[in-house]
Amino acid sequence: MSDKIRLLLADDHAILRSGLRLLLSEQPDMEVVGEAADGEEAIEKTRELNPDILLLDITMPGVGGLEVLERIKKECPQVRVVVLTMHDDESYMERVMASGGSGYVLKKAADTELISAIRAVHQGGVYLHPSMTRALVNQLQRRSAAQERQSRLESKLSEREREVLKLIAEGYTNKEIADMIFLSVKTVETHKAHIMDKLELRSRAELVRYALDNGLLKP
């Protein structure tokens, strides 16, 4: 039985697939077991061939790469997926990693980087292009700072204000809220004004969005 890393190539550009096949076939520990020209074929070939790693482009005709990734991870969770793409956008990378991808390599990367990524992923690791790693770190730092700021704001709310915030976000009017929690309409309006001031919000719509983003409501 071969100890080589079994690879399936999925990209809609035949020239790129040929180049990848040539490059990877030269590696003593790698074997290209198949190719796919679109998303549906990638799914079918993965089921049929059970490769160790699927090298997957994001932008393909028919079923897109992100949907392919999600379906592969549901149907063939043992197959690791390395995305090889031209998109150096951190939002794409986030979606890939959140969907179960094991690697994110840019097409502009050197051949040696792709080979290193494949080996790292085969050994159970995760590989991100260096520039994407920096972007991810920066994003996490920004998110952490935003969450810390939001936590500080929320800590200023009283229990009653939290209750009023949730009811406002659920769509109840000031009069309905007043009747539900046995307060005057004027007191509810005062609570609402305090909430918006403390959370630095300017409208009822922003209150609803805040509640959704922070798990007070189900979308």
Question: pLDDT confidence of 89, banded at 50, 70, 90?
Answer: confident
Q: For the chain, where do the domains classified as CATH 1.10.10.10 start and end?
A: 156-213
Per-chain mean pLDDT for the chain: 86
The domain over range 156-213 is classified in CATH as 1.10.3720.10? no
Looking at the predicted structure, is the pLDDT value of residue 81 above 60?
yes
More confident: 210 or 9: 9
User: Cβ contacts of residue 157 below 8 Å, gap of 6+?
Assistant: 165, 195, 198, 199
Of 71, 69, 72, the closest CA to residue 49 belongs to 72
Question: 13-22: long-range contacts (C-beta < 8 A, 24 or more apart)?
Answer: 13/57, 16/107, 20/55, 20/84
pLDDT at 205: 85
**Residue 162 φ then ψ, to 5°:** -65, -40
Q: 160 and 191 in contact (C-beta within 8 Å)?
A: yes
Q: What CA–CA distances, in Å, run from 36 to 7, 16, 17, 54, 193?
A: 11, 12, 9, 10, 58
Give the model's pLDDT for residue 218. Answer: 57
Residue predicted with more confidence, 150 or 30: 30
- Residue 109 has what pLDDT? 84
Residues 209, 70: Cα–Cα separation, whole Å: 28
Identify the DSSP state of 38. S
Residues carrying CATH 3.40.50.2300, the chain: 5-135
Residue 199's pLDDT band (cuts 50, 70, 90)? confident
Both structure tokens of 57? 């482009």
Pick the CATH number of 5-135 from 1.10.287.610, 1.20.1250.20, 3.40.50.2300, 3.30.200.190: 3.40.50.2300
| 15-53 tens-digit pLDDT | 999 999 999 999 999 999 999 999 999 999 999 999 999
Q: Once rounded to an integer, what is the mean pLDDT over residues 177-192?
A: 93
Band the pLDDT of 78: cuts 50, 70, 90.
very high
pLDDT at 123 over 80: yes
Q: Is the pLDDT of residue 137 over 80?
A: no
What pLDDT score was predicted for residue 1?
Answer: 46
In the prediction, which pLDDT does 174 show? 92
Query: Higher confidence at residue 92 or residue 90?
Result: 92
Most confidently predicted of 100-109, 131-140, 208-217: 100-109
